[in-house]
Amino acid sequence: MAVLDGIKAANENLLVAAKIGAAAALNAPKLANTQIKMEILTDEEVAPLIEILGIIGETNAFVSGDALVGKRALEAGTPIIELLIGVDGTTSDLAWNCGACGFNTCAEFNRYSRENRGAGAFFTGPNCCWKNFDFGMAQSWAAAAIAEMGVECRCQASYGFAGLVLGYLEGCTIATAVSIGPAGESIWYDRRDLTGSFTMKEHEQFMMNTLPQLYVAFCGGGFPLLKHRPDWAAEPLFWKAKEDPEFMAKQEDIRARVTKVIEREKAKKLKK
């Protein structure tokens, strides 16, 4: 007989939840006979994903929060587990000719897909809608099965994307991850790890940047005043769209740094 540390045991056992989640994804209903691919990353294997998301997060608040929670968990010795789920949806073998992809026949879609394969901001396409739909159902079953066990988890496209660019789920064009653990309450939802990560002033600026409709005053001459503070008319600010070379340069820098991480990790794998 032995006495186990409950918290340690809970975190050690997250892998079991991940495996059951994977089984649930396979067990999920499929409309289009879609082949799902999965890989489970544990311990230090999640570190490069977190690193990549940290870099991308410099200009993306959503992603930066995802990265920070993963990072803090790793630092605390209770690393998250990533159940990566992916699919290659670039070919339709259905011949349903449903039109959802924008083509009248699956044959037309397949031709277009062969000739126009490319990466968007996150994933490679084009993909058959029904393959993608099945992929969503599989994700949903994995997460639901894990949540049923009372295990902390969240479906996240960010970690799926990071996994894909790092070479996991070979051959897949879309991927999402179920981030599992650390064992605790609403780790991925309340995000207590983000406590103190922004000031109220930064928050107010973020809201004005992302929801300008709330701040727009009388439209007047076509460039409306912004209600940026209670006495907004005293110091007029105007809403205008303009190019942002500084932001674009930052994006370029992010792309270059992410590529470096990808190459470093590839080299590591080759050494192994």
Binding site residues, another protein, CB under 8 A: 28-29, 31-32, 62, 89, 94-104, 116-127, 129-130, 132-141, 143-145, 148, 154-155, 157, 173-174
List CB contacts of 86: < 8 A, sequence separation 6 or more: 36, 37, 38, 135, 160, 163, 164, 168, 169, 172, 173, 174, 175, 176
CA atoms within 13 A on the CB side of 140: 9
In the complex, the smallest distance separating the C-beta of residue 238 from another protein, rounded to whole angstroms, is: 20
CA 228 to chain centre: 32
What is the chain's length? Answer: 272
| C-beta closer to another protein: residue 7 or 119 | 119
- Provide the 10 A C-beta neighbour count for residue 271: 6
| C-beta closer to another protein: residue 80 or 145 | 145
In the complex, the smallest distance separating the C-beta of residue 173 from another protein, rounded to whole angstroms, is: 8
DSSP state letters, 112-181: HHHHS-EE-SS-EE---HHHHHHHHHHHHHHHHHHHHTT--EEEEHHHHHHHHHTT-STT-SEEEEEEE-
In the complex, the smallest distance separating the C-beta of residue 128 from another protein, rounded to whole angstroms, is: 9
d(CA 170, CA 110): 20
In the complex, the smallest distance separating the C-beta of residue 163 from another protein, rounded to whole angstroms, is: 15
In the complex, the smallest distance separating the C-beta of residue 93 from another protein, rounded to whole angstroms, is: 10
| C-beta closer to another protein: residue 42 or 124 | 124
In the complex, the smallest distance separating the C-beta of residue 117 from another protein, rounded to whole angstroms, is: 6
CA 102 to chain centre: 26
d(CA 230, CA 215): 11
| C-beta closer to another protein: residue 10 or 38 | 38
In the complex, the smallest distance separating the C-beta of residue 139 from another protein, rounded to whole angstroms, is: 6
| C-beta closer to another protein: residue 27 or 264 | 27
d(CA 168, CA 166): 6
List CB contacts of 55: < 8 A, sequence separation 6 or more: 254, 257, 258, 261
| C-beta closer to another protein: residue 110 or 139 | 139
| C-beta closer to another protein: residue 78 or 110 | 110
